[in-house]
Structure 1
Amino acid sequence: MIEKIFENGLWGSRFIVILAVFFGLVGALALFVVASFDVYDTAKMVINTYLSHSHIEHFHEEVVGGIIGAVDLYLIGVVMLLFSFGLYELFISDIDPAKGSEKENTILAIHSLDQLKDKISKVIVMVLVVGFFQKVGHTQYHGALELLYLALSITAVSVGLYFLSKVGHHH
C-alpha cells in the first residue's frame, strides 16, 4: 500500500513540468512582442527617413541590423515554443488538437528528450547563424586578410548548415 501511494505521488509529480511549459510560453510571447516592436520601430525609422529626406549614416546597416535582430528574437521565441510543446507532450499528455494536423508529424512530433534536444539545438544554431550575420554586417574590414577571414567564416557556416540539414534524414 505504501509503495502504491509513493508511486502514485511520484507519477503525479511530473505535473511540476507545467511550470516550465507555462513560463516557456510566456517567454515565447514576450520575445514575439519585443521582436514585433523592433520591426515596427525599424519600419517607422525607414518611413521617417524617406519622408523627411534626411540622411542617416549607415542607414542600410541600421535597417538590416534591426530586422535581423528581430528575426533572432523570433527564432529564440520558437525555441521556447518547441521547449514548451515538447515538455508538455513528454511529461503530461499529447496535444490533441495537433493530432491529424499536417504539422503534427514535422514540428510537434517529439517522443523523447533526444528529439526535443535535437529540435531545439537546430533552432539555436540558426539563432547563432543569424547573430553571426548581424555582427558581420556591422564590422569594418581593413585589408585583404580580414576579407579572407570573412570568406572563410561564411564558408564554415555554410558547411555547418549543410551538415546540420543532413542530421536526422534517413535516405
Structure 2
Amino acid sequence: MERIFEKFLWKSRLVVLAAVIISLVSSLAMFYMATIDSAYMISHLVEYPTLADAERIALRSTTITHVVELIDGYLLAIVLLIFALGLYELFISKIDDAENAENASQVLVINSLDDLKARLSKVIVMILIVKFFEHALGMHFKSPVDLLAFAAGIALIGLALYLTHASDSRDK
C-alpha cells in the first residue's frame, strides 16, 4: 500500500506540466503580440520624414512610449519562458539540450527553487523599471515637490539595481 501511494505521490508532480504548458504558450503569445506591435509601430515610422514639425514631435513621443511598451511585453514574455523552463527542470526533468549546449548561456538552467525565484525577480525588477519609465514619460511636473518625488523614485530604482547586483556578487 505504501509503495502504491508513493508511486502515486511521485507521479502527481506531473500536474506541474499544466503550468509549464500554459506558461510556455503565454510566453509565445506575448512574443507574438510584442512582435506584431513593433511591426505596426515601424510601419507608422515610414511617414516620419514627410510630417510637419508638430506632427513629427507627436509621433516621436508616441513612438518612445510604444518602444517602452514593447520592452515591457518582451520582458513579460521572458518571465513566462523562464518560469516554464524552471518549473519543468525542477519538477519534471532536466533539459539535456540546455545542460549540454557548448555555446549557450546558462541563464535558462535552473537548479533550485531559489535559483528560479532569483532569476524571475531580476526580470520583474526590470519590468518595474520599464513601467516607471513609461509613467515618467507622461508625467507633468507642477511643483518642485513633484520633481523631488520623481528624483526619489529614480534614486530608489538605482538602489534596487545596486542591491540586485550586490546579491549576485555575494552569491558567486
Normalised TM-score (structure 2):
0.90
Structure 2: unaligned runs, 5 residues or longer: none
DSSP-derived class of the 1:58 partner = helix
Displaced runs of 4 or more, over 3 A: 51-54
Could you tell me whether the CA contact under 8 Å between 1:61 and 1:138 is conserved in 2?
Answer: no
* Identity level (%): 34
Q: Aligned pair 1:17/2:20, yes or no? A: no
Question: In structure 1, how many angstroms separate the alpha carbons of the residues matched to 2:94 and 2:18?
Answer: 17
Per the TM alignment, residue 142 of structure 1 is displaced from its structure 2 partner at its CA by 2.1
The match for 1:4 is: 3
Per the TM alignment, residue 37 of structure 1 is displaced from its structure 2 partner at its CA by 1.4
Greater mean deviation of Cα atoms: 18-27 or 140-149: 140-149
Q: Cα deviation per residue 1:112-159 (whole Å; 9 max; x = unaligned)?
A: 212111111111111011010011011112233322222221111112
DSSP-derived class of the 2:168 partner = coil
The match for 1:100 is: 100
Question: In structure 2, how many angstroms separate the alpha carbons of the residues matched to 1:141 and 1:50?
Answer: 31
The 5 Å alignment of 1:1-171 reads 2-53=1-52, 55=55, 58-101=58-101, 102-103=103-104, 106-170=106-170
DSSP-derived class of the 1:140 partner = coil
Question: In structure 2, how many angstroms separate the alpha carbons of the residues matched to 1:71 and 1:46?
Answer: 18
How many aligned positions are there? 169
Per the TM alignment, residue 51 of structure 1 is displaced from its structure 2 partner at its CA by 3.8
Alignment CA distance shift 1:157-1:148 (3 Å): same
Q: Cα deviation per residue 1:37-64 (whole Å; 9 max; x = unaligned)?
A: 1111211222223345571563222111
